[in-house]
A and B are shown apart, each in its own frame.
Chain A
Amino acid sequence: MPEDNKKQEPADPMEVWEHWYETTYDAWKNSIDGSKESFVDPYGLYHSWLKGIGEAQEQFKAGAAGLMDPQEAWKHWFEVTTDVWKKATEQGADPVGLTTQWLEMMEEARAKLPAGGVVPADPFTFLKQWYDATSETWSKVVGDMIGTEKFMDMASQFLESYASFTRTFNRASEAYFSRLQLPTRSDIARVAELIINLEEKVDRLDNEFEDFEDRYMQMTTGEATSGLSGRLERVESNVAAFPAAVESLEKRLERVESKLDKLLEALEKPGSEEPAKAVRRAPATHSRAQQPKAPVRKQRAAQQARVEVES
């Protein structure tokens, strides 16, 4: 701000505004006109642009007859915008080189836009055409800028400042709300950590149960299988023994039959008809009265003894 403003203490805000406006306007005007005073007021740069827009607005308000052709309106806007920046660069007010690049882009846009035909009055259509005409140059300008160490220096400093401010603000907020006995983000985060740790334990238990279930299923299956296998083997061995047993039984049966045959033959021999008949009879339980007579019993016993000896 120029020093003049600091000396005055106006009561009316409007006066303050008017004074500021006139001062900055004079400063910019003097700068452009090459005056001894070398103020560089960035806000004054927009004054000439606003003035040009104001003139266009006045023409617009003048009525239908005074309506400006859209192409003329954009052309006028281009001229107003670029003239101001051109003068600024000529005066050396372009330390970063952005103004020069901006002017190049504007000139390119001015050349491309009317080349496509009539400039549309519809703002959205114009926006699309503007973007198509300028995006390539604009991207290149911005890309070149953000890839420089100068930009990175500024960005890095900004990030550091922002991080410092955020850290200080967060600490102050934490302290403030703690004093008010209100729960803070860190309090809630601590509770959440406890819940997460609890969930971790539940997860581990869940895994152990799954492992136990898998192991148990494997064990049960193995035991059952080995048990079944053993039993099956025993059954198989038993079944394998069946033919031999059956054969042995057959042989014994044959022997028994042969003995019986011999017994019958012996009983059927002459002099032993009564005992033979008695043998042929069904071997029901005999009462004492029906028991064979003693001589026959003796003979049978002798024959039986002979059969046993032979077998």
Chain B
Amino acid sequence: MNNNLSLAPDFESAFKKYRTGMQIILEGAQAETGQTPKEVVWTKNKARLYHYEPVAKDAYRVPLLLVYALINRPYVLDLMPGNSLVEFLVGRGFDVYMLDWGTPGDEDKHLAFDNYVLDYMPQAIRKMLRHAHAEEYTLMGYCMGGTMTAMYAALFPERPLRNLMLLTAPIDFTPDVMGLFGLWTSEKYLNPDRIVEAFGNVPGDLIDTGNRLVKPVTNYVGSYVTMWDRIMQGKSMDTWLAMNKWVNDGVPFPGAAFRQWIREFYQQNKLVKGEIKLRGRRVDLSHITSPLLSIAGKKDHICTLPQAEAIMHLAGSKDKEFYVLDAGHVGLLTGADARKGLWPKVESWLAGRSK
């Protein structure tokens, strides 16, 4: 390396790279995401039920509904061509639907899990079955969406739920197993009522800050160091841009749901105790009897292994499996490791149970 402080010979190339990086920092990551062809089958308020166009000739009979968390955009499941769980499943012949909760407005601050589990989900499933001309279905929930699908499955065991899949779904909120979230969400330090009174819907930035503070150096500095490194070395930026766009695309958390999530789940851990009540109906996870696959990541700091594994001891299913991947909360879904780990596992487990 030349120790001279004079500028690099290829000044123009260096300037272009510098400009690219600064553009990303100033304007934010721009990327085309969610590109697998789909159509809107049904809408309710801000929620949309998408149906992905089938491409395989021989399709599985049982449709699959993806349910994501309330606080993130679901297009992480369909990040970009070649890096999309949805594209993979559609290509393998599964009839895939996705429930996108949308972006809540001020008028939605009263929406709680009661509304989402007892109103939105049953309606979406009804429309899906009608559209697919099917009598049974598979539910796949991710993160908070997994918690919601578990509650739905427990409340409606008589419905024709064929299979249940939970991806990094937190069930047990015992402080000891939650890591930093156990401290941050304790009653001593976090009063959800004050936040809801002030904001109505909790801003996505606030939620995002809380998630990023689990690994602040990596999230606030490391990601941009990686960005500059990739730019300077001329590597492809597509995946980085798509992921960065998603990470910064947080959705406001409806106030009533946020209050419920913090108080009844994180602070009082009512779900594992069977004390959660949705519109007076007690959620008893032992009523889940459908085949169950719960997947978790070893390096996941948002939903730890014990949090996800708790469902195995509570569900009443005879056919149930807990599968662990060496990945983080989001790395489990996308990227090269996901193509080798999660995707084939989902396909193999579902294939035999979707005919």
Give the interface of A toward B (CB within 8 A). Answer: 67, 69-71, 117-118, 120-122, 124-125, 127-128, 131, 135, 138-139, 142, 146-147, 149, 152-153, 155-156, 159-160, 162-164, 166-167, 170, 185-186, 188-190, 192-193, 196, 199, 203, 207, 210
Interface flags for B182-225 (1: CB within 8 Å of A; 0: not) read 01100011110011011100000000000001011110011001
Partner among B44, B126, B217 whose Cβ is within 8 Å of the Cβ of A138? B217
How big is the B interface, by class?
A: 35 or more
| Closest-CB distance, A170 to chain B (whole angstroms) | 7
- Can you report 23 residue pairs joining A to B where beta carbons are below 8 Å apart? A69-B3, A118-B1, A118-B3, A121-B1, A121-B2, A122-B8, A125-B232, A127-B225, A128-B229, A135-B218, A135-B222, A146-B180, A146-B213, A147-B180, A156-B188, A159-B190, A163-B195, A164-B194, A166-B199, A189-B106, A192-B105, A192-B107, A207-B126
A164 close to B198 (CB less than 8 A): yes
A124 in contact with B198 given A70-B5, A146-B216, A196-B107 (CB within 8 Å): no
| Closest-CB distance, B192 to chain A (whole angstroms) | 10
| Closest-CB distance, A213 to chain B (whole angstroms) | 10
A70 close to B189 (CB less than 8 A): no
A196 in contact with B184 given A128-B229, A146-B213, A156-B189 (CB within 8 Å): no
Q: Is B349 an interface residue (CB 8 A)?
A: no
Partner among B44, B190, B198 whose Cβ is within 8 Å of the Cβ of A170? B198
Q: Is B279 an interface residue (CB 8 A)?
A: no
Q: Given the complex, which residues of B lie within 8 Å of A186, measured CB to CB?
A: 106
Q: Given the complex, which residues of A lie within 8 Å of B225, measured CB to CB?
A: 127-128, 131
Q: Is B123 an interface residue (CB 8 A)?
A: yes
Partner among A122, A139, A207 whose Cβ is within 8 Å of the Cβ of B218? A139
A121 close to B232 (CB less than 8 A): no
Q: Given the complex, which residues of A lie within 8 Å of B123, measured CB to CB?
A: 203, 207
A199 close to B3 (CB less than 8 A): no
Q: Is B228 an interface residue (CB 8 A)?
A: yes
Q: Given the complex, which residues of A lie within 8 Å of B126, measured CB to CB?
A: 207
Bound together, the chains give a CA A138 to CA B105 distance in angstroms of 39
B216 close to A189 (CB less than 8 A): no
A70 close to B3 (CB less than 8 A): yes
A166 in contact with B130 given A192-B107, A199-B44 (CB within 8 Å): no
Partner among B105, B218, B228, B232 whose Cβ is within 8 Å of the Cβ of A189? B105
B4 close to A121 (CB less than 8 A): yes
Bound together, the chains give a CA A147 to CA B181 distance in angstroms of 10
| Closest-CB distance, B328 to chain A (whole angstroms) | 15
A124 close to B228 (CB less than 8 A): yes
Looking across the interface, which residue of chain A has its beta carbon closest to that of B232? A124
| Closest-CB distance, B118 to chain A (whole angstroms) | 13
A199 close to B45 (CB less than 8 A): yes
| Closest-CB distance, A47 to chain B (whole angstroms) | 26
Q: Given the complex, which residues of B lie within 8 Å of A156, measured CB to CB?
A: 188-190
| Closest-CB distance, A140 to chain B (whole angstroms) | 9
Bound together, the chains give a CA A288 to CA B228 distance in angstroms of 129
| Closest-CB distance, B190 to chain A (whole angstroms) | 7
* Seed contacts A135-B217, A135-B218, A135-B222; 15 additional CB < 8 Å A-B pairs: A127-B225, A128-B228, A138-B217, A139-B218, A142-B216, A152-B183, A155-B189, A156-B188, A162-B198, A163-B194, A166-B198, A166-B199, A185-B106, A196-B107, A210-B130
Looking across the interface, which residue of chain B has its beta carbon closest to that of A135? B217
Partner among A121, A139, A147, A189 whose Cβ is within 8 Å of the Cβ of B107? A189
Bound together, the chains give a CA A309 to CA B11 distance in angstroms of 135
Bound together, the chains give a CA A162 to CA B202 distance in angstroms of 13
Q: Given the complex, which residues of B lie within 8 Å of A70, measured CB to CB?
A: 3, 5
